[in-house]
Structure 1
Amino acid sequence: MQFPKLSQLQSRFAVSFGATLLLILVYLSISRPSFAYASEIGSTTSVDHDQPFWPVILEDGSFNEEDNIPKEDVQAVVLEQDDTSDEERDEIQASTFEGCEERHHGDWGTDLNELRKRAPAGVSSLANNAPQNMNIELGETENWVFLKDEIEGPHGEQGIGLPSDASTTGNSDDNTPSRRELEKRQFGTPIWITINVCLQPTSNTSRGEPPPQLQLFYSDSTDIQKPGSTSEGTKGIRVEVEGGYGLVHLNATDDVYIGVSAPNTTDFTGSWNYEIAASNDVPYHFWSNSTDLLFVDGDNHAALLVTPDLTDSSNSTIYDEWMAMQAPYGMFAHDQKDQSFLGVSRSYCGLRKNANIAANIPGITNNNVGTMTNRGLGGAPKEQFYISALNASSDYWGFLAMTGNSTATGAGVIGGGGRVWSNMTFSTKASDNCALMYNLSFCSEVAYAVPSNPDKYSPLDGLADLAAVYDSYAAQMYQYFNYSLQQIPCNTTASAQYSLARNCDDCARAYKQWLCAVTIPRCEDWSNDAPYLARRNMAQSFPNGSTASWISNPDSGQQALLNSVQSNSSRNGEIIDDVIQPGPYKEVLPCIDLCFDLVQSCPAALGFGCPQGKYQNISYGVRDPDPGILSCSYLGAAYYLSDGTRESGLPGRMMWASMIITVALLFF
């Protein structure tokens, strides 16, 4: 068979088309796109797969492997029969259920008195979505049962949920009652058993490590009604408890028996307190292995953190609902010097009872706040947290958290036990001449530490005055620019405009971004040795009156810097050096792309230009490819924010890369 002969253009097209297909295959094989926004709580067995703030549950009741809550890697152990009875457990359980007898089938399920009667001796019953709180001593085992009537009983309440586009909610025809009943007959009923450790024993040593974790066991066999750890060994199937959180997930066709065992150790004193719950909806307690919390900046006593965008919907109604609602998330923070805290770092009640710092957590009153904001790249809704009373020069863990399932909490509520995200880290500054500012009136995108003087602007009540100094100066400078822009024929025909790609609105936006970044510099500790930082005011005294050693020592090798205007003054000396007088500090230089954007967006008649060569290097910085390093300042910046931006933009970059290769192959 003879193949047709291709022309030169056809040959090039065939090669380019093949290269494009290869790029697409490579992208599909390596990419796992993820998004950072939340949606309304979905149905009990099917939730929108694009929403990482709520677990994705497949039709068979298992978790999506890409979701935040992975399947438990359970380990089967030797099964043994235990005939031990424990009358004290019955007494404790009776007191635990006291006052709950009035909740019947329509609330938590079957009458709890009836559940106790049907449970084996020494075993306590669990009702659907009804958490139980217990203490357990060193070396003890406590047993629970989730009875078949509860497993196949009514579902819990899920609340109104978070704002979401109706087209992205988890409601579908595959989640009809008839479909769920068919799945029950074929595979059993999906259930989840979760444990949260609230309190833990204290160490008898000086090592400060966390105590060993509780052990969680389960059995779906009537031959093993008391799984757990005994003197003869272990029985039932054990799942790992990490950071005070454990999860059992299985499809049940009959009663499920649970055991909680406490290690026997002499290195610790006291007992554990834990909360256990069972559900036929979703896990009552959640832990997510993503962080979803970004560090914006801080000073020596406070920090500002923010969530990623909570929605990517272009629907204006969804946007307005997010911005108008009460901030739904909270957060915890804890000093990293306390390593024992890691023993409860995945437990909502553990964080609530043990964390040093909390913000926007119901029942905890302090000055720390969580509020909605649209500040940052893209202008999408997100939540920010301002936390204070931190120690200088300290490293902290930060945890995003949610009380209940965002709109409902407590017994009978789907996911009512709260959710905790994995920890991220942030640090405070050492010096007191950098002060954290945000929510300015004019430069509303500014959110970072700026040069300050604690003697003039107290961190307790003077930061509003400091913000007014910076903000009013920038607003005045912008007004001068606005007078000049009014001389440009903005509202004219397309052929008469200064650019077909940019207009006066683009110019005004670019100028404001550049102006706020250069007139309100981002401040860092003088002791910070990062190579991208610029020295400022190095010949001046610190606010406390002390002076740097090189000022009094002419042989220190710093004379060239002392004689340099760039290192011996501030970028905006009129208000910083003369009015605020912060003393020596270091500056994160503005990003050079802000200047480039200004020149590209504005008419040449305004005369804007960017410095070149060494003058550019001392005036502007360049963005570092590492998303954890802010090597230059831009409005809306946050640590690791660019990492998420790059990942979410990966499909677009792959498309452009394939187009470029196609064009190159066609013409070269």
Structure 2
Amino acid sequence: MIYTLPVLLATAALSQLVVQDFERDWQYKIGVEDMGEMPLTRYPQTKNRLPLVPRDTLDADDFANAIEMTDGSPVEVSIGPGEHALYRFDFTTPNVSYISLHYFTANVIEYPLNMSRLVSDEALDDLFGLNLYINDTTYAVTEFFEEGYASDIVYYSNNYVALNGTIYVEPYFQTTSRYFDQTDQAKFTFGFSSSELIYQWDNGTLADVVDTDGSSAFLQSSRYNVSADSLYRIVNETGSLKLHVFDEDGFGKVAGLLKSWAAVTAAQTVISDDLIQVGYRNLSGSYRLQLYVEGLDPSTTYYSILTFGLGNSGASGTVYSPRKFTTQEGGVCEFIYDLEFCSNVAYSVPRSNLTDNNRDLKLLYDAYAAAIYANFSLLMQQVSCDVSLDSRYSPIVTCEDCEEAYKNWLCSVTIPRCTTNSSSYFIRREAGEMRTEELQNLIQPQRSYYEVLPCIDMCNEIVRTCPASFGFQCPQNNDTILMMSYNYYNSDTSYDTCNIVGDAVLQLAKPDDSSAQRVLLDKKLWGMIAFTTLLVL
């Protein structure tokens, strides 16, 4: 998503300029003959602030000595209190009927003394900004930064007349002793491009935090319908996708500049690139980006921000919105993903006393689930799957749908999701008491933990997609068996109230308050059943 705020429009050989700001709901018009001194007519005014202000700081020498800018190449400037600088961008159009556009974008790299947290937005407008001039006029259109970002579109047309002109940019830093002294510097970067916005921001995250353990975090994107080659180049060749991880102190330094790609990419992070694995996963022709972050401290809050570079220069790009996450306590849960059989599993599981190796832990869980699935696979061989549509058990779903639903359900109940965070939605498991006795003997957890129960929707998905002759049923309502085996997904919470594996459709049902009152069942109910009429493990 790209946002541009004011719009500059010059038409008919630059004889008329219209400035419009849709968010502030005001409009001004300037009628001019030669783009010199600009008479000003104003209509209708709904705000007090004028976007066009006369500037007395510039003279003929300033315009003559302005620093030249080129298309697509941003410049950086560092200025102190009371200082200003002037840059020029020359443009021309061919002798044809033609409309040209130039996209102007600017980022704050750094405010002195972290001004973005010390003063209000109104005060920042008075202290820092950019003035844009067409040719050598002494009237400026003032651009204000919003969270470190400002943008404009300048477009002009000619009627078979070649046009030559100049757009001037003046970054300013107003003098005041209230906040800083003469040694402070404000740093900006800005540029024009005829093809794209050099700097962009998006209020999405690109990838969300899926889960954490005591030392790592895992982020994953939505599905993308792009080719494998395209995604491979993005992830492995261009180096344009980058994850920035900040602790609370580091995030505070960019908290007011979250729309500034330059500020985020220049800021100091706490995790080096070699501790971040970036990859992707094939999901039947669509793909998800995956980012695995190691080297984190337990029980610590972090912020992740993704940036995506544009072009090959590494000097421009898009910044995405931050995500806040907190790691779990150490030594209890361990994150696993990319399992061979349970390929949709990507969450933290109870650690085992039998191994400290992540690969071995994955194999323990994965092989256990795969062995149980073998019995179900034999049952599916008795179903007529490769027959005409009117001979199948359902005209809507297929055997593949049933197999996928059962596999996801089985993986969720044989590979419990682990957390150290307490919630009425979770069940506390002691170190010697897992979901089943067989699972307990296999894993032997190191410490007590809380289990995030599977979502009831995965059980319902089996009933919906598998042959009715199998007799599968799920616990109903808020009965005791249901609430000890599954839970509902509550979208009103900031965390997952149940664990979903795969793409089962969530009911978004909110259980009654009674669901928080859990009673441990007799362990006989937890006997391992490969498949049964009542789908409870």
Same fold by TM (over 0.5)? yes
| 1:418 to 1:75, Cα distance in 2 relative to 1, 3 A | farther
Match of 2:257 in 1: 344
Match of 1:6 in 2: none
| Residue aligned with 1:509, SS | helix
Match of 1:575 in 2: 439
| Letter matched to residue 194 of structure 2 | N
- Structural mapping, 1:437-586, within 5 Å: 437-453=336-352, 457-458=355-356, 462-491=357-386, 497-525=392-420, 528-537=421-430, 540=431, 569-576=433-440, 578-586=442-450
Equivalent position to 2:299, from 393, 396, 415: 393
Equivalent position to 1:215, from 125, 129, 132: 129
| Residue aligned with 1:257, SS | strand
Match of 2:480 in 1: 614
Match of 1:260 in 2: 171
Contact in 2 for aligned 1:203/1:267 (Cα 8 Å) = no
Deviations 1:435-465 (CA, angstroms, capped at 9, x unpaired): 1111111111111111115x7654xxx2112
CA distance in structure 2 between the partners assigned to 1:497 and 1:286 by the alignment:
52
| Letter matched to residue 71 of structure 2 | N
Equivalent position to 1:182, from 76, 90, 97: 97
| 1:326 to 1:78, Cα distance in 2 relative to 1, 3 A | closer
| 1:500 to 1:221, Cα distance in 2 relative to 1, 3 A | closer
Deviations 1:217-265 (CA, angstroms, capped at 9, x unpaired): 11225232xxxxxxxxxx6221121333222323357321111112445
Match of 1:286 in 2: 200
Contact in 2 for aligned 1:335/1:397 (Cα 8 Å) = yes
CA distance in structure 2 between the partners assigned to 1:53 and 1:141 by the alignment:
29
Match of 1:240 in 2: 144
Match of 2:44 in 1: none
Match of 1:563 in 2: none
| Residue aligned with 2:371, SS | helix
CA distance in structure 2 between the partners assigned to 1:618 and 1:588 by the alignment:
11
2:278 paired with 1:335: no
| 1:216 to 1:72, Cα distance in 2 relative to 1, 3 A | farther
5+ unaligned residues in a row in structure 1: which ranges?
A: 1-51, 62-69, 87-118, 154-177, 225-234, 312-317, 359-363, 411-415, 541-567, 644-668
Deviations 1:98-139 (CA, angstroms, capped at 9, x unpaired): xxxxxxxxxxxxxxxxxxxxx833421111112222322233
Match of 2:454 in 1: 590
Match of 1:305 in 2: 219
| 1:498 to 1:404, Cα distance in 2 relative to 1, 3 A | closer
Q: Quote the sequence identity (%).
A: 26
CA distance in structure 2 between the partners assigned to 1:72 and 1:206 by the alignment:
23
More strand by share: 2
CA distance in structure 1 between the partners assigned to 2:386 and 2:114 by the alignment:
73
| Letter matched to residue 381 of structure 1 | Y
| Letter matched to residue 472 of structure 2 | F
CA distance in structure 2 between the partners assigned to 1:279 and 1:610 by the alignment:
59
CA distance in structure 2 between the partners assigned to 1:263 and 1:600 by the alignment:
66
2:308 paired with 1:402: yes
CA distance in structure 1 between the partners assigned to 2:391 and 2:224 by the alignment:
41
Match of 2:107 in 1: 196
What's the TM-score, normalizing by structure 2? 0.73
| 1:496 to 1:276, Cα distance in 2 relative to 1, 3 A | closer
Contact in 2 for aligned 1:300/1:392 (Cα 8 Å) = yes
| 1:483 to 1:250, Cα distance in 2 relative to 1, 3 A | same
| Residue aligned with 2:473, SS | coil
| Letter matched to residue 310 of structure 1 | Y
CA distance in structure 2 between the partners assigned to 1:299 and 1:354 by the alignment:
26
Contact in 2 for aligned 1:451/1:576 (Cα 8 Å) = no
Relative CO higher for 1 or 2, CA cutoff 8 Å, sep ≥ 6? 1
Match of 1:547 in 2: none
CA distance in structure 1 between the partners assigned to 2:333 and 2:131 by the alignment:
52
2:361 paired with 1:433: no
| Residue aligned with 1:575, SS | helix
Match of 2:187 in 1: 273
- Structural mapping, 1:630-645, within 5 Å: 630-636=496-502
Match of 2:290 in 1: 384
| 1:403 to 1:83, Cα distance in 2 relative to 1, 3 A | closer
Contact in 1 for aligned 2:215/2:330 (Cα 8 Å) = no
| Letter matched to residue 497 of structure 2 | S
Q: What root-mean-square deviation, in Å, do the aligned CA atoms of Structure 1 and Structure 2 show?
A: 3.8
Shift of 1:197: 2.8
CA distance in structure 1 between the partners assigned to 2:116 and 2:285 by the alignment:
50
| Residue aligned with 2:219, SS | strand
| 1:208 to 1:336, Cα distance in 2 relative to 1, 3 A | farther
| Letter matched to residue 518 of structure 1 | V
Shift of 1:79: 0.8
| 1:279 to 1:71, Cα distance in 2 relative to 1, 3 A | farther
Equivalent position to 1:79, from 54, 66, 82: 54
CA distance in structure 2 between the partners assigned to 1:205 and 1:591 by the alignment:
43
Shift of 1:517: 0.9
| Residue aligned with 2:244, SS | strand
Shift of 1:341: 1.7
Contact in 2 for aligned 1:139/1:263 (Cα 8 Å) = yes
CA distance in structure 2 between the partners assigned to 1:325 and 1:394 by the alignment:
33
Shift of 1:418: 1.2
Match of 2:534 in 1: none
| Residue aligned with 2:107, SS | strand
CA distance in structure 1 between the partners assigned to 2:141 and 2:119 by the alignment:
31
